[in-house]
Structure 1
Amino acid sequence: MKRYERYADEIAQLIHGGALSPGQRVPSVREASRARGISPSTVFEAYYLLEAQGLIRARPRSGYYVSARQPLPPGRRQAEPQPSRPRGDSTGVAVSELVFEVLGSARDPALVPLGSAFPGADLFPLERLARCLASGMRRLEPASIVQSLAPGDERLRQQIALRYGMQGMAVDAAQVVVTNGAMEALNLCLEAVTQPGDVVAVESPTFYAALQALERRGLRALEVATHPREGIDLAALEEALARHPVRACWLMPSFQNPLGSLMPEERKRALVALLARRQVPLIEDDVYGELHLGPHRPAPAKAFDSEGLVMHCSSFSKCLAPGYRVGWVAAGRFAGAVQRLKLMTTLSAATPSQQALSEYLAQGGYERHLRALRATLARQQDRALAPIARHFPEGTRVARPEGGYFLWVELPPAVDALRLHRDALAKGISLAPGQIFSADRRFAHCVRINYGHPQAPLEDALRTVGALAARQAASPQRA
């Protein structure tokens, strides 16, 4: 056993034995290095290992703290959800009516937003953004409106390209097309590489808006087995590519919605190589990439793309500016096609929003905001996991993602997620039932829970949902 592993094991034993309790600060790197006679790098490696095990969390400028892992009742073990096992056939998509029903019923601002797709507005520097917006509006000239037509505001595209460079990726600003949020970027990419009737591979489960995009274009969904921790099963994907005429893949390799899975770097590299061999484009949805809870931002699949087949889509909506609707795509070899489609549809993203974000980024402070946001989301995840462990019925499985703000919860098979969603609404709580994350409405006993609203009564709401789920598990009655 290596020195860092020995030290990590000592800390883990203190946590499991109760000597270090949830929320308590573990020894600083300097303290541990001096007391144990080991190098600071050894301490860091130990703490990175404990983070990966979910035992501690880093808080920017504060140190490392024990995660809020509450002991489970005797005889009860809370495992992660099982890997999915889709049928393996492509299918037409007709989910929009169900999605509209679920989302429409959850619009009441008085609801506890466990089913929301967005984090809380109080997490973002909205006042400073508003000042940037007002400043830009005062300087807005007619010429700048024309100049912001697709591909978008040049200054903002250069700043986006610079952020790629900070991640070690050489992305030319000319490849970047600014869009009305990431969803437009994803839809434009889909339109650039498919025709109605084509087959598109997606994860299982997958984000319901991806399914709606396929439905709108008359495309067929091929759901591929996906692991709740490591993402899409590459062997299953390779088999799917051999059996079906897949024209594109729409995947979320980092902090997938709804699972929260994160593909390890070597698997992302293998994914890109597999698709390159078959010349299948990858539409990469990476809107949660900045919301990592570990020390480093995970590299996107785009980082391993040498042939321009990966269309990397992201936005500022989930990490900085909800409501500004500014996203982008680094479209590789498809940049020209995406830009033309953008011009043919919506011409450009809103010029004031682009200029406001460009001004904000130029002023500095974005990284400081992101560090605070990540620390808050890490604490929120711990706040959510504890009541789920205590109050949800026996047999519940829950993912423990390394980023984002969603938990994928697999309930006992007797629980119907749609019925649970409706029962929770009656108690003033929204949920996202598993049926909306699949083209054939599987995952009927799963729910996605949003923990990204610090002001919401999270623990009380989860206690209520747990009681409703336990009641169903005891006396099942399908919706």
Structure 2
Amino acid sequence: MAKYQQLVKSIIEDIRDNTLVANTKLPSLRQLAKQHEVSISTAVNCYHELESQGWIIAKPKQGFFVRSMDLGVAQPEFKQFDSYQTSPRRNKTPYRANNGVLGVTCMPIDNGTISELDRCFIRTLKRYSLKTNRYPDPIGEQRLRKAVSSHFCKKGFPVDHNHLVITQGAMSAINTALKIIAKPGDTVAISSPCFSGYMDLLVNLQLKVIEIPSNKDGIDLKQLEHHLQQGNIQIGLFSTTFMNPQGITLSVEQKQKLATLSAQYQTPIIEDDVYIELSHDRTMPLPAKYYDKDGYIIWCGSISKSLSASYRLGWCLSGRYFSEFSNYYSASSRGVSQQIQNAITEYFNTGLYDKYIRRQCTNLSNNMYQYRHYLNHHLPKLIKMSNPNGGMTLWIEIKNHNAEMFSQLVNTNQLDIREGSLFSSLPIYDNYIRVNIGYPIEQAKEQLALLVKLIKASQRA
């Protein structure tokens, strides 16, 4: 780790543990260099990096200051209830050929990255031109499986490429896992609220759900264990890191406990980790799969959120279910486009993917602050907002909210937003919405202004 990166890490730790509080003036560049016995250029690089990540701000002729991150905004309420079996509800959000910037969770890809990806496609098409007429390896090209394995091993998460299956996105992996384990009428444990896409999938597979309440540490594991003890659950499906829609991450203790429970009750848990690499401080948390010693956790990921959903490329580490998973997937899909696999392998192996992720994490950190600041400024007494340190979702609770009126206004004005009722089979999130913060705020201000207008217009008298 370079010296400036060591300084950056140390200052971030001081900010997080409140040794350095908001609005504290930091040492000048010369003072910083002298205190830590580093060069001026190292001090400049340190402050530039902290500023790009959103931890500090530079004030002309005044110096550098710790930026206020929480804005004094209250967090949305975590709904607490005794969980019970329900039927999932189908997502009623209409498909749009061109999604708005606040709706689907995604980030724009800059022209430089598009050019890099184009070059990867061109190079690999030339390199493997004689093989373009054959079917791809049904569990994924070995080159890509090794590249994905190497990528995560460098982040402290060992992945055996021999047990990795390349899939058409994470949802394809989740669908396969559910099909090989669950049968119609079985019950799946999910978090409350949860990703709305799960609902459609579970309806299609004729499965029931038990929603486990969320809390600040993750999910209510006591209620989950109760249902496991009673035999009420045949499989679990959880996002564990920067979960959609709340943006919270299960604590290390919760992830360890989740792995323990799955082994203790011999119940498979599908871990959906599409956001795991999008930490705003650019340090990837370890998944629950890391603590899984018995193979009951089925870990699914993809590049759909970290790079682009258009490639439909993901992966699955299916543990003790590898044989059943790989056989079913091979027979049902015949693999993933070889050209896409080759190009993404090149993107991984050249180090371009990792560099892109690092840039995007910084962008997301800045976006999150700016979106929260904008909405707090325009709706200071009407909303509570989440403050996640990763991912690209902002979960908002609205006071005195007329959900029916809001929904009508959203449809009339063609605003692409996700209403809270989509994220549960229970009628308890009608006064919540989810906002995508993947786009720079300059590209979102028109839609944000409309959102503010519609929230104010749908206030109950």
Shorter-normalised TM-score: what interval?
0.7 to 0.9
Which one of the candidate residues 199, 207, 210 is aligned to 1:211? 199
Which one of the candidate residues 128, 136, 143 is aligned to 1:155? 143
Q: Is the 8 A contact 1:78 1:398 kept in 2?
A: yes
1:248 aligns with 2:235: yes
1:169 aligns with 2:157: yes
1:181 corresponds to: 169
1:281 Cα deviation after fit: 0.9
Q: Distance in 2 between matches of 1:203 and 1:7?
A: 28
- 1:69-93, Cα deviation, whole Å (9 max, x unpaired): 596xxxxx63111112345111122
1:270 aligns with 2:257: yes
Which one of the candidate residues 81, 88, 91 is aligned to 2:83? 88
1:422 Cα deviation after fit: 4.1
2:450 partner SS: helix
1:115 Cα deviation after fit: 1.2
Structure 1 55/177 Cα, relative in aligned 2: closer, same or farther at 3 Å?
closer
1:465 corresponds to: 451
- TM-score normalized with structure 2 length: 0.85
1:404 corresponds to: 391
Q: Distance in 1 between matches of 2:307 and 2:458?
A: 39
What is the letter of the counterpart of residue 192 of structure 1?
I
Q: Distance in 2 between matches of 1:162 and 1:7?
A: 30
Structure 1 14/8 Cα, relative in aligned 2: closer, same or farther at 3 Å?
farther
Q: Distance in 2 between matches of 1:145 and 1:305?
A: 39
Equivalent runs, 1:313-332 vs 2, <5 Å = 313-332=300-319
Structure 1 410/243 Cα, relative in aligned 2: closer, same or farther at 3 Å?
farther
Q: Is the 8 A contact 2:23 2:68 kept in 1?
A: no
What is the letter of the counterpart of residue 416 of structure 2?
S
Q: Distance in 2 between matches of 1:167 and 1:412?
A: 41
Structure 1 27/254 Cα, relative in aligned 2: closer, same or farther at 3 Å?
farther
1:210 Cα deviation after fit: 1.2
2:6 corresponds to: none
What is the letter of the counterpart of residue 192 of structure 2?
S
1:433 aligns with 2:419: yes
- TM-score normalized with structure 1 length: 0.82
1:469 Cα deviation after fit: 1.3
Q: Distance in 2 between matches of 1:205 and 1:340?
A: 33
1:397 partner SS: strand
What is the letter of the counterpart of residue 92 of structure 1?
S
1:200 Cα deviation after fit: 0.6
What is the letter of the counterpart of residue 371 of structure 2?
A
- 1:252-290, Cα deviation, whole Å (9 max, x unpaired): 110001110111212211111122111111101000111
- 1:434-477, Cα deviation, whole Å (9 max, x unpaired): 111112343111000001112754344323322321232243xx
2:298 partner SS: strand
- 1:105-134, Cα deviation, whole Å (9 max, x unpaired): x5445xx42112322233882221122223
* Equivalenced residues, count: 435
Which one of the candidate residues 234, 247, 251 is aligned to 2:221? 234
What is the letter of the counterpart of residue 415 of structure 2?
I
Structure 1 198/36 Cα, relative in aligned 2: closer, same or farther at 3 Å?
same
1:79 corresponds to: 74
What is the letter of the counterpart of residue 300 of structure 2?
C
Return 383-392 or 457-466, whichever deviates more: 457-466
Q: Distance in 2 between matches of 1:7 and 1:359?
A: 37
Q: Distance in 1 between matches of 2:237 and 2:329?
A: 19
What is the letter of the counterpart of residue 468 of structure 1?
L
2:432 corresponds to: 446
2:364 corresponds to: 377
1:222 partner SS: strand
Structure 1 28/172 Cα, relative in aligned 2: closer, same or farther at 3 Å?
farther
1:449 partner SS: strand
- 1:47-76, Cα deviation, whole Å (9 max, x unpaired): 9xx99xx993699xxxx97446596xxxxx
Structure 1 172/108 Cα, relative in aligned 2: closer, same or farther at 3 Å?
closer
Q: Distance in 1 between matches of 2:351 and 2:364?
A: 22
Q: Distance in 2 between matches of 1:121 and 1:426?
A: 30
What is the letter of the counterpart of residue 211 of structure 2?
E
Q: Distance in 1 between matches of 2:260 and 2:205?
A: 28
1:290 aligns with 2:277: yes
Q: Is the 8 A contact 1:86 1:223 kept in 2?
A: no
What is the letter of the counterpart of residue 439 of structure 2?
H
Equivalent runs, 1:282-361 vs 2, <5 Å = 282-361=269-348
Q: Distance in 1 between matches of 2:453 and 2:375?
A: 10
1:360 Cα deviation after fit: 1.4
Return 250-259 or 85-94, whichever deviates more: 85-94
- 1:136-163, Cα deviation, whole Å (9 max, x unpaired): 2334456566573321100000111112
- 1:409-448, Cα deviation, whole Å (9 max, x unpaired): 01114331x6424424544531100111112343111000
Q: Distance in 2 between matches of 1:209 and 1:123?
A: 30
Q: Distance in 2 between matches of 1:233 and 1:456?
A: 38
Structure 1 325/28 Cα, relative in aligned 2: closer, same or farther at 3 Å?
farther
Which one of the candidate residues 20, 23, 26 is aligned to 1:11? 20
Q: Is the 8 A contact 1:211 1:221 kept in 2?
A: no
Q: Is the 8 A contact 1:67 1:382 kept in 2?
A: no
Q: Is the 8 A contact 2:20 2:66 kept in 1?
A: no
Q: Is the 8 A contact 1:113 1:429 kept in 2?
A: no
Q: Is the 8 A contact 2:165 2:316 kept in 1?
A: yes
1:12 Cα deviation after fit: 1.1
What is the letter of the counterpart of residue 14 of structure 1?
N
Q: Is the 8 A contact 1:123 1:373 kept in 2?
A: no
Structure 1: 5+ residue runs without aligned partners? 21-25, 38-42, 72-76
Structure 1 468/27 Cα, relative in aligned 2: closer, same or farther at 3 Å?
farther
User: What percentage of residue pairs aligned between the two structures are identical?
Assistant: 26
Q: Distance in 2 between matches of 1:364 and 1:434?
A: 38
Structure 1 57/7 Cα, relative in aligned 2: closer, same or farther at 3 Å?
closer
Structure 1 65/122 Cα, relative in aligned 2: closer, same or farther at 3 Å?
farther
Structure 1 449/136 Cα, relative in aligned 2: closer, same or farther at 3 Å?
same
1:365 aligns with 2:352: yes
1:409 partner SS: strand
2:209 corresponds to: 221
Q: Distance in 2 between matches of 1:398 and 1:449?
A: 10
